[in-house]
A and B are shown apart, each in its own frame.
Chain A
């Protein structure tokens, strides 16, 4: 079943009409192919126009779309031989953050990312992509190993934020995030991070402090969720669309602020309409970025990474 977002209603209505026409014409002799073709073109146009002009709040909806491809979908589509590695060796295994060895077009990499899940059962298993300290500590462990064995690190960031809970606090959520950020910065190997859906605050930065940060066209990346920002500054979460606008959270805005380096175009109508197309664009982009970095000495990689963050706010 297709899920339509509020702002997609006109597209949905057109698509319904096309479907109705098609079923009405079935077995009928009347030739409606011209009319159908006209409507389909119109519908495609409408979709393209809608997605060219998404507001930051609409992009937030797209980035959170239940059918948007997640970590495991991308693993299936573009990575080969994914070998997941588990546990932080201290407390447990957190399935909100997955990681392991993988191949991208023959390149050996350490792949790490958030997984939100795609149905009730898997969403609960992956805690909706909200990492706990043990998840970030697993990421640290994998990054350190990648550094020792010369494996470039590829991360796919997709989280509304790190998990806010009693146990997460007790086990040092803040420290785990800080150390994970530090582990990114310390890597002697190339690191390419991509915000594929939601880049939510510290929980995202912990896996995105890379020398190359990419974003899918309709992904969002922000210091706090629009709802959270609205409820603090406007005193009501209903102002989330205004907060989304004010914070500058879209890939296009962040590229202008030099916070991200590259925007990966999504298929018309968003990644959820053509997950395979989105995945192939993502794989292509990560591959190109890795190729440009591989072979650089560790010191140079660290310097590029450090300069990138030190410069933010001065340029």
Chain B
């Protein structure tokens, strides 16, 4: 009776462990697929109002990512975002501003390269601006240290301590900017390659799928393993 109970317990444990490893493999497979999906975004040249594609209360819907949006308001803060990589693979420091919309909401806007920030001295905090740009999700990885003047990554959650406004998740990569007087002329940044937000790489996740499922197989094989013959190891 005791022996049957012990075997039942062992069998249950083996099944539990094996199913956990299989589930972990499926989870890694899902992450690998998420990474692949993110690289296929349809081209859409229509300009949408920011409020129609995103709201400040939640994250940016996946279908809104990469769309061209328009917004207007005042720049209320300026930051340096070091070591940012554009679509052409060039790494540089970017100028990022916090744009307060007409309401009590704000969104991060990448205006251009940090070295070009003094090209348009006429835009001050009181100047009303209208912008269009590509809506992108927040970054997950830090590129530098976070300080009051510098953003470690393009992520509005870094600013929750310095403003009471509702902040949009993600940021706008500016393509055009105009004031009541004129359009701003400065070199713009090409859109960086989008990643899924899942850390790691596709092939890395696939290798983890193989590892977890291999471990599941090992666990299922263990009950049948016996050290027949002369035992060498102790």
Does A associate with B in a complex?
no
